[in-house]
Structure 1
């Protein structure tokens, strides 16, 4: 009787397994091929990174949330650090997407580039990228590095252009993020291209402190991003760059080869890139820096407004 009972139990279990397969379930519990609510089949993890400043964090949230909205297995790992740090993370595979800026990324790989226009920069960058990295579609939205001075200092010294800085640089202090010291458009570029050699370069990792010191004349010239509301809020004078030392910096997703081959991911990020404007990005950054909103909230509201989430 025990043998008959055991045989019947095994048979019943086999029937249940067959019925489960016929119903489309995965007896091994592997859900990677199952479509998501939005129909996506590819559930390979996509980790979106960002640099350690507000604009990049907002873009990182835009990308991660847009990917999630299409049912992809995306997450955000923000505020990683400077370009040197997050490119290493991309190379090592701890992140697979990061928002970048065309001109600055090109200079990172080719300091002697002759590219000047946005189109020339994009073409040169495509050729300069190392193996394993790809670009998706650049946006019309841009976030430029810019040198600024207070209006009072500009009026007092007749400053309107980077070419004017040679008049005051010997007795002036330049302030910027710590990595500016090694950038081609930093102190080295100012001296080489514009003949402006500053008395001192003072590094800042807190934009609010940098702005306070500029207002207090502890530094006389500073760099910010053109999308930062601190420029308009303080009435800073943005110095023209007649020699195009700072290349066009259009927003572009830099991705690994694995993500480059994901058609759904490309479509989701291309849609963000097509809809994004410099004005939109500036407004989202203002929400974070001035209104103290969360980058994820600012990004999520924009995506819903554009019908992308």
Structure 2
């Protein structure tokens, strides 16, 4: 890891951590040989429906096996939650693997799920933390097209847009060009160039879907776990050359939650959490009856037979 990049983020997290009061929920060491029942664990969640649902998935399984689980929603930036994990005021937070890696080391080069999984444990060790098994769920950005467009042009991957690029418009966010998958990256990795762009900042919302389905745009760059994909039968284009950095869901844990028992309980949850499953959970979270993240998570865990009760 590049020492200057690590030291900047580490120093910031340590400085924040010094200002936090360590509470009982993060002060009890766990013997990996114990079941952990009765141990208090605080699960942190960022302020999004998706992250709150995922926090409930992990937290409810721990509670089902005797852990005393609290939730801390809206934990803020990565720097804040790393400091909280170090201080023991939060014990477990789910993050995106690629964002976590590059947040620690902006000069990292891993892009694929396997490469990030190999690089990440060493990076978080600098904070005295660990990562558990990552879920296959990948909530990175995705290039999507309508079913009609995919079938009419026999397009299944990002690279195949090269044959059509001069006749298509991409719906993108206003920071599209700053990402690896922007114009420069598409040219360098897949040789795709000459397309037009239209700025749409609704993360796959109504405006983007309307433009796709009316052919105002032909391709949209939206989160791969957006409910709009399943609701409108959109096609996600494959990315065999890892133009887009993989963003698998990965639990980051402090000392209390870094135990053999926690891993035994939570690894099966991660194993079951695929991109399609996470998209379905997001769809429930944005449905008209707006069930709580707690209810959504419990129903899913019950269906997957991940709760003993």
Q: TM-score range by the shorter chain?
A: 0.5 to 0.7
Is this contact kept in 2: 1:140–1:274, CA < 8 A? yes
Taking the TM superposition and a 5 Å limit, the aligned residue runs for 1:240-251 are: 240-251=238-249
Q: CA deviation at 1:203?
A: 4.5
Q: CA deviation at 1:222?
A: 1.4
Structure 1 pair 50–205 and aligned structure 2 pair: CA distance change class (3 A): farther
Q: CA deviation at 1:193?
A: 1.8
Count of matched residue positions in the alignment of Structure 1 and Structure 2: 267
Structure 1 residue 284 and structure 2 residue 284: aligned? Answer: no
CA-atom RMSD in angstroms = 3.7
Could you list the runs of 5+ residues in structure 1 that have no partner in the other structure?
A: 1-29
Q: CA deviation at 1:123?
A: 0.8
Is this contact kept in 1: 2:140–2:224, CA < 8 A? yes
Structure 1 pair 110–267 and aligned structure 2 pair: CA distance change class (3 A): same
Q: CA deviation at 1:63?
A: 2.0
Q: CA deviation at 1:270?
A: 3.0
Structure 1 residue 270 and structure 2 residue 267: aligned? Answer: yes
Residue 121 (structure 2) aligns with: 126
The 1-side partners of 2:180 and 2:93 are apart by 22
Residue 81 (structure 2) aligns with: 90
Which secondary structure does the structure 2 equivalent of 1:92 belong to?
helix
Residue 77 (structure 1) aligns with: 73
Which secondary structure does the structure 1 equivalent of 2:39 belong to?
coil
Structure 1 range deviating more: 157-166 or 69-78: 157-166
Taking the TM superposition and a 5 Å limit, the aligned residue runs for 1:72-221 are: 72-78=68-74, 86-93=77-84, 95-110=90-105, 113-115=108-110, 118-129=113-124, 131-132=126-127, 133-154=129-150, 159-166=155-162, 167-168=164-165, 172-176=169-173, 182-196=178-192, 198-200=195-197, 202-209=199-206, 210-221=208-219
Is this contact kept in 2: 1:48–1:64, CA < 8 A? no
Q: CA deviation at 1:144?
A: 4.8
The 2-side partners of 1:196 and 1:224 are apart by 18
The 1-side partners of 2:283 and 2:107 are apart by 34
Q: CA deviation at 1:59?
A: 1.0
Residue 37 (structure 2) aligns with: 40
Residue 5 (structure 2) aligns with: none
Is this contact kept in 2: 1:50–1:56, CA < 8 A? yes
Structure 1 pair 202–88 and aligned structure 2 pair: CA distance change class (3 A): farther
The 2-side partners of 1:47 and 1:67 are apart by 10
Is this contact kept in 2: 1:55–1:285, CA < 8 A? yes
Q: CA deviation at 1:140?
A: 4.0
Please give the per-residue CA displacement for 1:152-187, whole angstroms capped at 9, x wherever unaligned.
4445666433223344268624324x6655433344
Is this contact kept in 1: 2:168–2:219, CA < 8 A? no
Q: CA deviation at 1:253?
A: 0.6
Residue 304 (structure 1) aligns with: 302
Could you list the runs of 5+ residues in structure 2 that have no partner in the other structure?
A: 1-23, 29-34
Q: CA deviation at 1:130?
A: 6.5
